[in-house]
């Protein structure tokens, strides 16, 4: 039984996604709160007792309006640091991994997370430390890759070890692991914070990354044969760039190139809209409905669970059992996000927000369907090359999306803080057109 379990785990790189996103969502709302709190008293020198009231009904609106934009600038800078370097790295490491393996990419990205975690814990331990010091940990995290290259390596790995018949399901499992990690992270975030404060939250994230690194190093089996050609071991070469663009833009039968590029465009635009959830949604709910951290984490947990159910229904039932093809499911998912964004933008009661989260749950099917289509259009030798350029473009869009939504939110904070939701609705209407 133990041997069967070990054999099963040796190809389950999706578990690294579970651990990574658990840690990411565990600290995401806490990190926002931490930056706002530290900005208030360590940077802007407000009274500590007044800073502790931020996010509650007793908070001073004057302090809130001064702290929020400054804290947003810190978070925007943090986002840029963790996106620029991965965007450049992906251009090289994808083609390199086609010849030298997927495991090294996973290991280096996790090492970056570990270094970032150590720095974050130290900053949290020093009560007077400015939140700007958090950026020190984000530099090695960016240099070693970040979430985007990790996802690229896992996508390539799953493509390597699956067939066309079960690839769509395994791609769906990646998204389920992502959503499950987000669910567990958000549900436990406030409880862990209440039990041990910022240090315990950041420490648990660090522990998850250490476990993930051990799992990849000693359990995961490499999916690429060992490369004995020393000329192929260099990462930063123009050959890797040339091979990547050649594989992505070469002409294919039955309009394959056009279909591939449209899928890239649809996926990239989606990433732009998702930037709102990680950059301004918590701020919006604090401002519009007076939500605190506990309420927000409950909402995030509910929507994450709904996303898991939606992905299972879409991939397992509609796609696998009922044999509905990828494109109709992608259209359905995009339309659900349009409706959800509009409802959230007009919301003035708590249940409106929860309904919006439930409506968008079926959108979870779009990402695995995109990846499934991509894998069917390319050869095995092109997997790393094609996915690397897709991830690079996504990283660039995330880098632009966070600041874009921050600017929109700050500009409309005094008039309509939910205006960014209508931007998201428009983006997904464009996606519907692209898929059609």
Buried b (16+ CB within 10 A) or exposed e, 138-150: bbbbbbbbbbbbb
Please tell me the number of Cα atoms within 13 Å of 426 on its side-chain side.
Answer: 5
In the chain, where the domains are located:
14-219+242-435
- CATH class of domain segment(s) 14-219+242-435: mainly alpha
- The pLDDT tens digits of the residues spanning 96-122 come to 888 888 899 999 999 999 999 999 999
User: Which token pair is 18?
Assistant: 């579970």
What are phi and psi for residue 103, nearest 5 degrees? -60, -45
Residue pair 157/105 in contact by the 8 Å Cβ criterion: no
* Structural contact between residues 386 and 185, judged by C-beta atoms closer than 8 angstroms: no
Question: So what's the pLDDT on residue 367?
Answer: 82
pLDDT in tens, 396-416: 777 777 778 888 888 888 788
CA distance 105 to 99: 12
Q: Is the pTM of this model over 0.95?
A: no
CA gap 349, 341 in Å, rounded: 15
Report whether pLDDT(55) > 80.
no
Q: State the average pLDDT for the chain.
A: 82
Find out whether 368 and 311 touch, Cβ atoms under 8 Å.
yes
Confidence of residue 5 (pLDDT cuts 50, 70, 90): low
């Amino acid at each position: 039984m133990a041997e069967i379990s070990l054999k099963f785990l040796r190809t389950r790189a999706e578990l690294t996604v579970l651990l990574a996103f658990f840690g990411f969502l565990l600290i995401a709302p806490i990190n926002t709160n931490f930056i706002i709190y530290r900005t208030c008293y360590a940077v802007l020198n407000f009274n500590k007792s007044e800073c502790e009231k931020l996010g509650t009904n007793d908070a001073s609106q004057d302090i809130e309006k001064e702290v929020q934009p400054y804290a947003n600038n810190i978070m925007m800078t943090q986002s840029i640091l963790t996106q620029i370097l991965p965007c450049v790295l992906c251009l090289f490491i994808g083609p390199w991994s086609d010849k030298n393996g997927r495991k090294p990419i996973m290991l280096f990205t996790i090492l970056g997370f570990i270094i970032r975690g150590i720095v974050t814990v130290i900053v949290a331990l020093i009560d007077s430390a400015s939140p700007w010091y958090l950026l020190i940990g984000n530099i090695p995290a960016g240099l070693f890759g970040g979430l985007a290259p990790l996802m690229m390596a896992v996508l390539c790995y799953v493509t390597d070890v699956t067939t066309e018949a079960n690839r769509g399901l395994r791609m769906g499992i990646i998204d389920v692991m992502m959503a499950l990690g987000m669910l567990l992270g958000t549900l436990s975030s406030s409880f862990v914070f209440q039990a041990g404060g910022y240090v315990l939250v950041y420490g648990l994230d660090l522990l998850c990354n250490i476990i993930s690194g051990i799992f990849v190093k000693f359990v995961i089996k490499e999916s690429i044969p060992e490369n004995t050609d020393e000329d192929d071991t260099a990462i930063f070469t123009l050959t890797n760039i040339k091979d990547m663009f050649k594989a992505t833009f070469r002409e294919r039968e039955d309009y394959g190139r056009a279909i591939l590029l449209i899928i890239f465009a649809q996926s990239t635009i989606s990433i732009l809209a998702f930037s709102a959830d990680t950059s301004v949604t918590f701020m919006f709910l604090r401002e519009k409905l007076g939500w605190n951290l506990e309420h927000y984490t409950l909402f995030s947990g509910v929507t994450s669970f709904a996303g898991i159910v939606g992905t299972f229904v879409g991939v397992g039932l509609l796609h696998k059992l009922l044999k509905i093809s990828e494109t109709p499911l992608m259209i359905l998912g995009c339309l659900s996000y349009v409706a959800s964004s509009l409802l959230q933008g007009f919301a003035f009661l708590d249940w409106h927000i929860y309904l919006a989260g439930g409506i968008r749950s079926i959108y979870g099917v779009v990402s695995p369907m995109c990846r499934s289509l991509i894998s069917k259009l390319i050869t095995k030798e092109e997997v790393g090359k094609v996915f690397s350029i897709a991830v690079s473009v996504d990283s660039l869009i995330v880098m632009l999306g966070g600041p874009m939504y921050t600017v929109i939110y700050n500009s409309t904070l005094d008039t309509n803080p939910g205006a960014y939701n209508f931007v998201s609705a428009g983006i997904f209407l464009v996606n519907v057109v692209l898929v059609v």
